[in-house]
């Protein structure tokens, strides 16, 4: 359970699945609505010795599952797939039922953005016969790499070296995906932020000080200043859950 602190300190405990799934999320005209989900320590680190597991907890996992439950597609970078040995989502029966009631597929599809398409076909992402990921790759992708994963994924190759977030999102919308969950890593997050393709930023603050040389949630060569509005703050023990919405001029 989590407790709402803002905009109203209701005081009662609520389920993450209820508050995250029931929010209104207006669709942009050409692409899916993009949500993010990241966790960082109180001093801004997104990992401890390279892994984020030590920052999370049971309620953070509940929020993670709630955001996945409303998403049609999960967008992730190739490096995250390789390092974290990314697996296809496996929703509970309850989540599958809720998704069915909303007219969604039983589980989200994973879409991987990659310039090279250098992905090991033995990665867990490719070993589930009931899940076929989407690979969104650039023009310079290695033909041998594409051949290795061609039967295991739906491959979309763009004519540019870098897959622009907007182009990737338009492709996903054309495939019928309405809500996309951006799960990083930090360089992919930065690309989406710099191109103004993030509509909702969900950030968990873990009650820990980490120091070290860990990255922050978004890191890249381009700096921008995109205003966001804090729409909700929830608390579970010492963990804080923040929800921001992008503020755009109408």
Q: Which tens digit of pLDDT belongs to each residue from 211-233? A: 999 899 999 999 999 999 999 99
At 18 the pLDDT is: 81
User: pLDDT > 90: what percent of the chain?
Assistant: 81
Tens digit of pLDDT for each residue in 171-220?
999 999 999 999 988 999 999 999 999 999 999 999 999 999 989 999 99
Q: Measured between alpha carbons, how far is 60 from 5 in angstroms, rounded to an integer? A: 16
Taking all residues of the chain, what is their mean pLDDT, rounded to a whole number?
92
Residue closest to 109 by CA, chosen among 48, 159, 179:
179
- Name 14's bridge partners: 2
64: pLDDT strictly greater than 80: yes
| Average pLDDT over every residue of 79-103 | 92
Greatest CA separation for the chain: 57
Q: Which of the four CATH numbers 3.40.50.2300, 2.60.40.1250, 3.40.50.300, 3.40.430.10 does domain 58-246 have?
A: 3.40.430.10
CA 148 from centre of chain = 26
Which tokens sit at 63? 């929020």
- Answer whether residue 12 shows pLDDT above 70: no
Tell me the C-alpha distance between 241 and 206, whole Å: 9
pLDDT at 46: 94
What pLDDT sits at residue 69? 94
Average pLDDT over residues 8-23: 74
With bands split at pLDDT 50, 70 and 90, how would you rate the model's confidence at 4? confident
Mean pLDDT, rounded, for 65-72: 95
Alpha carbon 207 to chain centroid, angstroms:
22
Q: What is the pLDDT of residues 132-145, one digit of tens each?
A: 999 999 999 999 99
Coil, strand or helix: which one is 74? Answer: strand
Indicate if the pLDDT at residue 16 is higher than 90.
no
Look-up of token digits 């061609």:
150
Q: Is the pLDDT of residue 14 over 90?
A: no
What is the predicted pLDDT for the residue at 248? Answer: 87
């Amino acid at each position: 359970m989590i407790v709402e602190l803002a905009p109203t300190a209701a005081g009662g405990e609520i389920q993450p699945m209820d508050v995250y799934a029931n929010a209104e999320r207006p669709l942009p005209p050409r692409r899916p609505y993009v949500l993010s989900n990241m966790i960082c320590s109180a001093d801004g680190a997104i990992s401890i010795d390279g892994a984020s597991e030590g920052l999370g907890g049971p309620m953070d996992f509940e929020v993670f599952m709630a955001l996945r439950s409303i998403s049609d597609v999960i967008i992730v970078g190739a490096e995250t797939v390789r390092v974290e040995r990314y697996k296809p989502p496996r929703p509970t029966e309850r989540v599958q039922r809720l998704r069915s009631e909303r007219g969604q597929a039983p589980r989200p599809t994973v879409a991987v953005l990659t310039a090279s398409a250098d992905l090991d076909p033995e990665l867990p992402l490719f070993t589930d016969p009931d899940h076929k990921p989407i690979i969104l790759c650039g023009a310079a992708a290695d033909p041998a790499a594409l051949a290795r994963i061609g039967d295991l994924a739906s491959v979309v190759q763009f004519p540019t070296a870098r897959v622009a977030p907007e182009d990737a999102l338009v492709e996903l919308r054309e495939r019928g995906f309405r809500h996309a969950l951006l799960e990083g890593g930090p360089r992919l997050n930065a690309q989406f932020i710099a191109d103004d393709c993030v509509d909702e930023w969900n950030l968990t603050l873990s009650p820990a000080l980490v120091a070290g040389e860990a990255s922050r949630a978004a890191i890249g060569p381009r700096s921008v200043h995109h205003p966001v509005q804090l729409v909700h703050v929830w608390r579970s023990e010492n963990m804080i859950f923040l929800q921001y919405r992008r503020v755009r001029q109408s």
